């Protein structure tokens, strides 16, 4: 049974939800707390999988409540359901909520968001790892980019494009930015995957507040080895993204592909910060043996960076094509897709980028799965893709 | 006069003081003092001489008493002199008088003693002269009677001893004389005369010696010394006093010299100033002559200038004399009212051709002219030359002509644009505060819509189930009591969760309706709150206005405070309700912020109390919070525009300034507050109820 806790200071809202969700009672076990204190009591008494909380409540507000939940029960998926529509409220919720929903919230959307939180669990069987990932409220950025961003934000001359260009180069910033812009606060009919559009949507002032006020972005605090690792990861992500964007002709798909490729190794960032020792050992072993990293991760950590990354992005409400592409970037065939979609493009871009790097790093790239290429009917496009990848490499 | 008298008195006093000082400073008469001292010296000498002579006369060295008498007389003379001239010289000093009198008494005593001495000494001398003669007679008789030698020797010894005693020698002679006298008296009866002499001599000797001793013991010397001392003391005192006065005199002299110097200096200065003033006066007189000369020309120029200025004014200006004829009509007036000056000057002003509501304008003009003071007319709508409507705001200055008739000068501008902007600005300000509340209001609307939607959704599902059940019932009804169909209805009920539905559907409907009415009430309150004020004040129920404002501000207040209302029975108040709503809102939001600052995130809540009551021709509204109060130092400044203690983004510092402007300036009310640090603040608004003659009743 999946357990959900609803918190709101208005009893009418709770009873409305209770009635509306009654048909789900066979799958969901729902509890309704009329305030933050009651919610904390309920949480201490029995385990929950998801919490849906109002923002503005007397005494302790929703952000404070969710911060405590984050600290005490990191495995619980935290969702905000607020009557506030202004950006400030979203900003306060960003650090603590996986998802933000606005009142009035369509019943189907509410159900879908909750369902999705449960579905995501299929990605990560290990509950400890799930809690670890769910407790991540921000992702580290490359110090160089972080410094460039703060400088650009302090400069009144900076344009939206200047800022978007910097954000686009950083995996952590991209993910966090999309986390915010894809929340219901912006009421976008279609998911936003283009960083320029996201920055324009938020406005530079909000981005500034995210960086300097809420400190949503932060420089990665590790040592020199970590620094090198992150730089290489960023570099690989950005190159792959540029390649992936060229593989799909449709503008929207191309945006999705760029972002998915940008974020495809985000799981490595998470593992490097949260499961540091086993992950570093796994990377070392992969370098030594030439075996694929995800295979060693599975043995050492029980999860792969693809699963971890997809899980976090899923919690953050990023659109499904990106999640899929991140989750299956090593095994595109597993998606069961019959067309050359975003996930396929990310897989191809990833392999091509590794191929380009192979002479330098000495790590052999994973070969393409001929059966999969044949199934999609794109075998003959391989040379074309390689040319595109070359073009990107020389352009950069 | 009083001042002159005081000055004279002061001068006279100063003169008298100076004279007194001068008199006091004169030295005592040294010659007189010397004379007294000489007399005293002589007195002592004569006294000594007298005593010497007294001894001499006792022991027969002095044959006559004349020197004694002369001495005594001299003493008496000196005393008399001292008693008169001396006492006078000492200024009748009490001690001098007393000692002088004591000397006089002493001298009288001396005179008496000397008289006694003289008589007794005469007897003694006599007896001593006759005693040897008597002794010789006795001796002769002894010889004659052949009395033994022994007796003769005794007699001889008696004579010798008595003479020795007479010169003051007594070495047992006195006793021997007594025994010899006794022997002689027993042996010879013819010695009685001799013995009587001896007895007299002995007695007088005793008396004279006693007198001499008494004189010697008389404390004349002490008396003289006392007198001398008294005189001396008087003189020394006089000397000291005169010295002191002299010092005073010198001091006064110095002060006087200083005063005189100052006076002289000022005199010199004022003389110089006077001289300059005279020179200036002469110069000014010269200038005045020149100015006078020039004045006419200037007046002409100035008149021309004034005409030019009036012509150049951007405001229209027209003046009307006491007979109501137009005397001035400047260029702006020509432009504004499309009438050339030439066509209107000299004509009655009512015929000047301005197209406005003449009755209203004339009424106001008459009122202001009658008041005799400058004043504004209310906005006047007029028709422009091009046929459009405009607003002018004229001001009027009554002018009294030399003949006493009353005219006026009217100036003004076309303020149409200003008025339009003003009303737009007022509306914009109110919209801004609505905008500030918009987020909160959205929350207030979104929340009920959430549960209205959820409940409706539930009702939709519920109705679908009821339909299923209904279908089952129908089948059962049509099937004529078939047991299988009955079981199917039971099953349908179970599937439909009918118990739950029956219980929850009414609640869901009720809550949905409740949500709808919540939304409706806030929408209505917003409409009322943002009520645009048109032109005149409108009689309004302020309780209703407060309720609307509280509803609009609910989201700002409810997380920090409970709102308690105690709304009394109020008469309707003529007001611009939209503006008052904004004033209430500003004060309420301030109250919420004040409480928010105190409770912060403690989970505690404050209270906002809104109370209204009727108070002596006024309506009073008190808005009290339980916030932190207003600190002493800023109480005077809270109504200043842009004064704020809030963080950037939370307040611009305009709230209370706007509230005050609305309440005081636009409604003639008052806005005051009572505050106690740590306890909270109460704002009290008072608005006049008015007589209502110039406004109409309209629901809020």
> Chain A: residue nearest B602 by CA?
A59
Out of B497, B511, B601, whose CB is closest to A12? B511
Which residues of chain B have a CB within 8 Å of the CB of A62?
none
Provide the pLDDT for residue B623: 94
CB–CB of A16 and B458 under 8 A?
yes
Out of B442, B450, B454, whose CB is closest to A19? B454
3-state helix, strand, coil in chain B (%, to 5): 70, 10, 20
User: If pLDDT is split at 50, 70 and 90, which confidence band does B700 have?
Assistant: very low
Report the range of poorest mean pLDDT among A149-163, B177-191, B283-297, B562-576: B177-191
Query: Across residues A144-156, what is the average pLDDT?
Result: 84
Complex ipTM value: 0.75
> Chain A: residue nearest B496 by CA?
A23
Cβ-Cβ contacts under 8 Å for A32 (sequence gap 6 or more)? A5, A6, A8, A14, A15, A17, A18
Q: Which residue has the higher pLDDT, A251 or A59?
A: A251
Cα B259–chain centre separation:
34
CB–CB of B455 and A13 under 8 A?
no
CB–CB of A103 and B439 under 8 A?
no
> Chain A: residue nearest B501 by CA?
A19
Mean pLDDT estimate for chain B: 84
Distance CA(B589)–CA(B558), nearest Å, equals 11
Q: Is A151 exposed, middle or buried (0-12, 13-18, 19+ CB in 10 A)?
A: exposed
Which residues of chain B have a CB within 8 Å of the CB of A102?
446
User: If pLDDT is split at 50, 70 and 90, which confidence band does A214 have?
Assistant: low
Query: Across residues A158-178, what is the average pLDDT?
Result: 86
CB–CB of B457 and A84 under 8 A?
no
Q: Which residue has the higher pLDDT, A219 or A303?
A: A303
Distance CA(A285)–CA(A274), nearest Å, equals 19
CB–CB of A16 and B451 under 8 A?
yes
Range picked from A7-16, B165-174, B580-589, B639-648 for highest mean pLDDT: A7-16
Q: Does B28 have pLDDT greater than 80?
A: no
CB–CB of A58 and B457 under 8 A?
no
> What is this structure's pTM?
0.55
CB–CB of B454 and A84 under 8 A?
no
Distance CA(B578)–CA(B532), nearest Å, equals 6
Out of A19, A56, A103, whose CB is closest to B504? A19
Provide the pLDDT for residue B62: 59
CB–CB of A103 and B515 under 8 A?
no
Nearest to B630 by CA among B692, B567, B676: B676
Query: Across residues A182-187, what is the average pLDDT?
Result: 67
A350-388 per-position pLDDT tens digit: 999 888 888 877 777 778 888 888 888 888 888 889 888
CB neighbours of residue B389 within 10 Å: 11
CB pairs under 8 A between A and B: 88
Distance CA(B523)–CA(B478), nearest Å, equals 51
User: If pLDDT is split at 50, 70 and 90, which confidence band does B699 have?
Assistant: very low
User: If pLDDT is split at 50, 70 and 90, which confidence band does B432 have?
Assistant: low
B184-206 per-position pLDDT tens digit: 777 777 777 788 888 888 888 88
The residue of B435, B440, B442, B454 whose CB has the most chain A CBs within 10 angstroms, and thus the best one to mutate to test that interface, is: B454
User: If pLDDT is split at 50, 70 and 90, which confidence band does B460 have?
Assistant: very high
CB–CB of A83 and B508 under 8 A?
no
CB–CB of A107 and B454 under 8 A?
yes
Give strand pairing partners of B320: B326, B408
Provide the pLDDT for residue B612: 94
The residue of B446, B450, B522 whose CB has the most chain A CBs within 10 angstroms, and thus the best one to mutate to test that interface, is: B450
The CB-side HSE value for B86 (13 A sphere, CA atoms) comes to: 30
Cβ-Cβ contacts under 8 Å for B136 (sequence gap 6 or more)? none
CB–CB of A83 and B442 under 8 A?
yes
Report the range of poorest mean pLDDT among A245-249, B373-377, B643-647: B643-647
Residue B507 sits at φ, ψ, to 5 deg, of -65, -45
Enter the tokens of residue B412: 């003004």
Out of B442, B497, B601, whose CB is closest to A85? B442
B224-247 per-position pLDDT tens digit: 888 888 888 888 888 888 888 889
Cβ-Cβ contacts under 8 Å for B476 (sequence gap 6 or more)? B482, B485, B486, B488, B489
Which residues of chain B have a CB within 8 Å of the CB of A84?
439, 442-443, 446
Enter the tokens of residue A215: 């400190």
Query: Across residues B571-587, what is the average pLDDT?
Result: 88
Enter the tokens of residue B226: 């006392």
How many Å lie between the alpha carbon of A40 and the closest alpha carbon of chain B? 15
> Chain A: residue nearest B514 by CA?
A12
With contact defined as beta carbons under 8 Å apart, do A242 and A164 qualify? no
How many Å lie between the alpha carbon of A191 and the closest alpha carbon of chain B? 23
Q: Does B335 have pLDDT greater than 60?
A: yes
B125-148 per-position pLDDT tens digit: 888 888 888 888 888 888 887 777
Cβ-Cβ contacts under 8 Å for B388 (sequence gap 6 or more)? none
Residue B570 sits at φ, ψ, to 5 deg, of -115, 145
Out of A20, A56, A85, whose CB is closest to B454? A20
A43-60 per-position pLDDT tens digit: 999 999 999 999 888 778
Provide the pLDDT for residue B647: 61
CB–CB of B447 and A84 under 8 A?
no
Provide the pLDDT for residue B376: 86
How many Å lie between the alpha carbon of A13 and the closest alpha carbon of chain B? 5
How far, CA to CA in Å, does A323 sit from each of A265, A304, A316, B99, B249?
12, 14, 10, 143, 120
Enter the tokens of residue A11: 């009893």
Out of A59, A103, A106, whose CB is closest to B446? A103
């Amino acid at each position: 049974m999946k357990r959900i806790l609803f918190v709101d200071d208005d009893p009418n809202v709770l009873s409305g939800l209770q009635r509306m969700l009654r048909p789900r009672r066979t799958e969901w076990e729902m509890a309704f707390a009329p305030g933050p204190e009651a919610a904390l009591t309920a949480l201490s008494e029995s385990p929950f999988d998801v919490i849906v909380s109002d923002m503005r409540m007397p005494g302790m507000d929703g952000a404070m409540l969710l911060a405590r939940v984050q600290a005490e029960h990191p495995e619980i998926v935290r969702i905000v359901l607020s009557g506030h529509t202004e950006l400030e409220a979203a900003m306060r919720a960003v650090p603590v909520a996986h998802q933000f929903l606005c009142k009035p919230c369509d019943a189907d959307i509410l159900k879908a968001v909750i369902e999705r939180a449960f579905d995501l669990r299929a990605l990560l069987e290990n509950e400890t790892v799930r809690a670890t990932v769910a407790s991540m409220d921000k992702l580290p950025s490359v110090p160089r980019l972080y410094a460039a961003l703060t400088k650009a934000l302090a400069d009144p001359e900076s344009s939206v494009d200047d800022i978007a260009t910097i954000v686009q180069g950083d995996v952590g910033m991209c993910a966090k930015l999309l986390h915010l812009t894809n929340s219901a606060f912006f009421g976008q009919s279609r998911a936003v995957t283009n960083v320029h559009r996201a920055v324009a949507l938020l406005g530079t002032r909000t981005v500034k507040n995210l960086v300097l006020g809420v400190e949503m972005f932060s420089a990665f605090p590790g040592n020199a080895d970590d620094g090198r690792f992150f730089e290489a990861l960023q570099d690989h992500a950005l190159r792959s993204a540029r390649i992936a964007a060229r593989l799909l002709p449709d503008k929207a798909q191309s945006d999705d592909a760029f972002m998915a490729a940008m974020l495809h190794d985000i799981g490595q960032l998470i593992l490097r910060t949260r499961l540091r020792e086993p992950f570093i050992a796994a990377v070392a072993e992969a370098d030594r043996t030439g075996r694929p990293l995800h295979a060693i991760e599975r043995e050492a950590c029980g999860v792969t960076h693809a699963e971890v990354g997809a899980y976090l992005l899923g919690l953050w409400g990023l659109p499904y094509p990106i999640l899929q592409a991140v989750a299956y970037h090593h095994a595109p065939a597993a998606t069961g897709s019959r067309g050359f979609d975003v996930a396929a493009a990310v897989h191809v871009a990833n392999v091509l980028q590794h191929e380009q790097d192979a002479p330098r790093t000495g790590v052999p790239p994973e070969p393409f799965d001929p059966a999969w290429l044949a199934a999609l009917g794109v075998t003959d496009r391989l040379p074309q893709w390689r040319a595109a990848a070359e073009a990107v490499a020389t352009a950069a | 006069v009083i001042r002159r008298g005081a000055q004279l008195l002061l001068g006279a006093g100063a003169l008298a003081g100076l004279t007194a000082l001068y008199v006091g400073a004169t030295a005592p008469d040294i010659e007189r003092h010397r004379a007294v001292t000489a007399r005293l010296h002589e007195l002592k000498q004569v006294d000594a001489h007298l005593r010497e002579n007294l001894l001499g006369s006792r022991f027969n060295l002095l044959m006559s008493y004349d020197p004694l008498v002369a001495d005594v007389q001299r003493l008496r003379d000196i005393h008399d002199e001292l008693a008169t001239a001396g006492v006078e010289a000492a200024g009748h000093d009490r001690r001098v008088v007393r000692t002088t009198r004591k000397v006089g008494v002493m001298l009288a005593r001396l005179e008496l003693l000397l008289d006694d001495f003289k008589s007794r000494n005469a007897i003694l001398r006599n007896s001593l002269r006759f005693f040897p003669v008597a002794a010789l007679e006795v001796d002769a008789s002894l010889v004659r009677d052949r009395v033994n030698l022994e007796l003769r020797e005794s007699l001889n010894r008696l004579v010798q001893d008595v003479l020795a005693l007479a010169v003051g020698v007594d070495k047992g002679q006195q006793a021997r004389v007594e025994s010899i006298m006794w022997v002689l008296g027993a042996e010879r009866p013819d010695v009685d005369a001799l013995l009587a002499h001896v007895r007299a001599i002995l007695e007088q000797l005793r008396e004279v010696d006693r007198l001499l001793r008494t004189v010697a013991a008389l404390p004349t010397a002490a008396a003289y010394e006392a007198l001398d001392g008294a005189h001396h003391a008087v003189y020394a005192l006089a000397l000291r006093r005169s010295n002191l006065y002299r010092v005073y005199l010198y001091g006064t002299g110095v002060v006087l010299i200083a005063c005189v110097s100052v006076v002289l200096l000022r005199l010199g200065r004022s003389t110089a100033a006077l001289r300059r003033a005279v020179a200036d006066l002469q110069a000014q007189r010269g200038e005045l002559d020149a100015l006078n000369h020039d004045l006419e020309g200037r007046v002409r120029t100035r008149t021309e200038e004034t005409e030019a200025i009036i012509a150049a004014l951007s405001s229209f200006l027209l003046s009307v004399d006491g007979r109501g004829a137009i005397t001035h009509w400047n260029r702006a007036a020509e432009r504004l009212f499309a009438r050339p000056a030439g066509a209107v000057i000299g004509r009655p002003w009512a015929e000047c051709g301005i197209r406005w509501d003449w009755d209203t304008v004339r009424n106001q003009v008459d009122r202001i002219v009658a008041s005799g003071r400058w004043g504004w007319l209310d906005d006047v709508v007029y028709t422009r030359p091009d046929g459009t409507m405009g607003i002018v705001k004229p001001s009027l200055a009554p002018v009294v002509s030399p003949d006493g008739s009353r005219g006026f000068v009217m100036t003004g501008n076309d303020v149409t644009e200003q008025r339009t902007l003003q009303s737009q600005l007022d509306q914009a300000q109110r919209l801004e505060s609505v905008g500030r509340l918009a987020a909160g209001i959205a929350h207030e609307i979104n929340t009920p819509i959430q549960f209205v939607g959820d409940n409706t959704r539930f009702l939709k599902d519920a109705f679908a189930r009821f339909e299923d059940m209904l279908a089952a019932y129908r089948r059962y009804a049509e099937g004529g009591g078939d047991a299988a169909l009955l079981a199917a209805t039971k099953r349908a009920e179970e599937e439909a969760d009918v118990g739950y539905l029956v219980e929850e559907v009414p609640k869901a409907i009720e809550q949905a309706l409740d949500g709808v009415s919540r939304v409706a009430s806030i929408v209505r309150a917003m409409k009322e709150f943002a009520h645009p004020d048109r032109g005149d004040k409108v009689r309004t129920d302020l309780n209703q206005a407060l309720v609307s404002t509280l509803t609009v501000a609910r989201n700002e207040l409810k997380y920090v405070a409970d709102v308690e209302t105690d709304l009394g029975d109020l008469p309707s108040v003529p007001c611009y309700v939209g503006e008052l709503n904004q004033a209430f809102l500003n004060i309420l939001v301030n109250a919420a912020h004040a409480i928010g600052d105190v409770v912060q995130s403690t989970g505690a809540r404050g209270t906002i109390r809104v109370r209204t009551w009727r108070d002596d021709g006024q309506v009073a509204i008190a808005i009290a919070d339980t916030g932190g109060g207003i600190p002493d130092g800023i109480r005077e400044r809270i109504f200043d525009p842009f004064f704020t203690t809030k963080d950037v983004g939370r307040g611009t510092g305009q709230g209370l300034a706007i509230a005050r402007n609305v309440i005081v300036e636009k409604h003639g009310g008052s806005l005051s507050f009572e505050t106690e640090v740590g306890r909270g603040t109460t704002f009290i608004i008072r608005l006049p109820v008015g007589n209502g003659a110039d406004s109409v009743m309209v629901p809020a």
